[in-house]
Structures are given as C-alpha cells and as structure tokens.
Amino acid sequence: MLTEKSLLVCEKGHTYYKSSDCRSCPTCNKENKPESGFLSKLSSPARNALIHEGIDTLDKLSKYTEKEILNLHGIGPASLPTMRTSLEEEGLSFKE
C-alpha cells in the first residue's frame, strides 16, 4: 500500500515531500543538529520532540519519567537507551 506524499515548503524555502502530518523540514533538521551534547546523539524526530517540550538539558530530562518521554510524538523506545546512558554519565536518571 503506497502512501501519497505531499510537496511542502518550509519557512526557509526548502522543498521536501512528506507522507505524514509532521511538517519538520529534513534540510533544516540537518542544519540545526547540535554538534555535541545528548541531543546530538538522538534522531531528528526525538530531538525535535524534546525541544518542543522545552527539554534541552539533561537536568530537565531527569524531571520526567520514561513513560512521559515515550508519550511525546517523535520518541520511540529506541531513543531511551541513548537518553539513559547520557543521564547516567552525568549521575542523573529518569524520574521514578
């Protein structure tokens, strides 16, 4: 079953095709990827979900449970080990 893709244009003028309602531009995502820190280790959808919620530091991430993080659109179970490791490296963990 093929999904129809729509041609979209982002605020910066990049054109791209999407088959979902997610309007994140792949070109902008690459340009905005951090070079270091825990966010740089995550996929674009996961990174965007956290940033959208205002979670841009490990200290802020530690205020959430794993279940709360998994409920964010764009974050799947594959992202949790990376986040757990980053938290542990700083002596932090997800909220119980």
* Per-residue pLDDT tens digits of the chain, which is 96 residues long: 567 888 888 889 989 888 776 777 888 878 777 887 999 999 988 998 999 999 999 999 999 999 999 999 989 999 999 999 999 999 999 999
- Residues with Cβ within 8 Å of 44's Cβ and at least 6 positions away in sequence, in order, are 24, 26, 29, 30, 33
Q: Are residues 88 and 44 in the same domain?
A: yes
pTM of the model: 0.75
Q: Are residues 49 and 86 in the same domain?
A: yes
Structure tokens at 66: 């794993």
Q: Are residues 27 and 66 in the same domain?
A: no
Q: Are residues 48 and 4 in the same domain?
A: no
- 29 burial class (0-12, 13-18, 19+ CB within 10 angstroms)? middle
Cα distance between residue 1 and residue 59, in whole Å: 43
Q: Are residues 18 and 1 in the same domain?
A: yes
**pLDDT value of position 1:** 59
Q: Are residues 26 and 41 in the same domain?
A: no
Q: Are residues 42 and 87 in the same domain?
A: yes
Q: Are residues 39 and 21 in the same domain?
A: no
**pLDDT value of position 5:** 86
**pLDDT value of position 30:** 80
Question: Domain containing 48: what range?
Answer: 33-96
